[in-house]
Amino acid sequence: MESFTDSHTKKAAKEDYSNPNSYLPIALLSTLGKIFERIINNRLVHWAKKMGAIAQGHMGGRRGHNINDALVLFTMWIKAKWREGKTVTGVFLYVKSAYPTVHKERLLDTLRSKGAPPYLTNVIVSFLSDRHTKIKLNDFVSNNFFIKQGLPQDSSLLVTFYLIYNSSLLLPRPPTLEEDQISIAYINDVVHLTESKCHNRLLKSIKEVIAHSLRWGTPHGAIIDEKKTNILWFTKKKITHTEIRLTEKTFKLQQTTKWLGVHLDSKLNFGNHIRKLKKTCSLTMNKLRLIIKTTYGLNPREAQQLVLGVLFPRLLFGSILWFTKQNKKTVKSWLDKVHNNSS
């Protein structure tokens, strides 16, 4: 029987590549089994949509949803609550090593409890059973050993499995403007939003959603990354609270955080994000100038195409959120300058 070939791919923008967490092992196998996986995935998605097995707040890994939907819903919900005179809090969570920490039995129990057809669960049991691997370090190759948990990387079933697996991490409410608490997720990147006119009520709500997340994480074997766990108050008013105490853990209220590639601040003016973009622009242009010279290298037309194809997609990512009426003039002037410098 043919085995999977593992590709150990470097994760982008990691500071230390001597750390094993900076690499992503991807299983590769070109066989008819990949076609069968896609068929099973299509049927699983159809069942999950029909039965509501995937939380409505999940915006990633679903047909007809993308990262822009998550960003637009996020800002629309906050601004709708501001118009009602309310303050909004956001609890930002990131599930570390999401796919490798999935427990097979917990996933199967979740599928059965939601009423998955037996033929689907039987196929999934077979798919996740009797898996072995070996470790290669330089010239050393270990013996095969049994894999007890985790999902196979690069499988078309991977994301669907995980969306079903962690749907109970999201609050059990539809992400509508009428709700006083909602959750928005992009795979394993989750934010819980709550609102109130009363600060004490907000503090209570924050503790409730954090406790809810921890209750989900313990039986599911999930690791909540503390470095990426942030709490922000979204308000135009002065913030009086600086930290929240929950059992043995103290959470400090942050002024800014990064979510889905966008730097957020408590007033949603995105000044910090634009400053980061300008720094990125400067660094990228300096690197591009190394291959764009007057005496050799790319001609002006090719240089401009390179800038438009490499730099502008990086700068405009998430612009549906941070390009606002208030900063429109400043941002447009800056982008025009970047475009002219690339000519």
Q: Which two tokens stand for residue 36?
A: 């069968």
pLDDT digits (tens, 9 = 90+) for 218-255: 889 888 888 888 999 998 887 766 777 766 677 788 88
For residue 214, the surrounding DSSP H or E stretch is helix 199-220
Max CA pair span of the chain: 68
DSSP state, residue 170 = S
Whether the pLDDT of residue 31 is over 80: the answer is: no
Closest-CA residue to 335 (of 286, 285, 287, 290): 285
Q: Where are the extended beta strands (E) located within the chain?
A: 5-10, 23-28, 87-96, 132-133, 136-137, 140-141, 145-146, 181-186, 189-196, 223-224, 230-234, 243-246, 249-254, 256-259, 262-265
Q: How confident is the model at residue 29 (pLDDT cuts 50, 70, 90)?
A: low
- Copy the structure tokens of residue 82: 């501001």
Mean pLDDT score across all residues of the chain: 86
Judged against a pLDDT cut of 50, whether residue 1 lies above it is answered with: no
Its pTM stands at: 0.84
CA 271 to centroid of chain Cα atoms: 22
Chain segment 158-197, per-residue pLDDT in tens: 999 999 999 999 999 999 999 999 999 999 999 999 999 9
Answer whether 151's CB lies under 8 Å from 158's CB. yes
Does residue 223 or residue 296 have the better pLDDT?
Answer: 223
How many angstroms separate the CA atoms of 280 and 263, rounded? Answer: 13
Least confident of 50-64, 122-136, 181-195, 287-301: 287-301
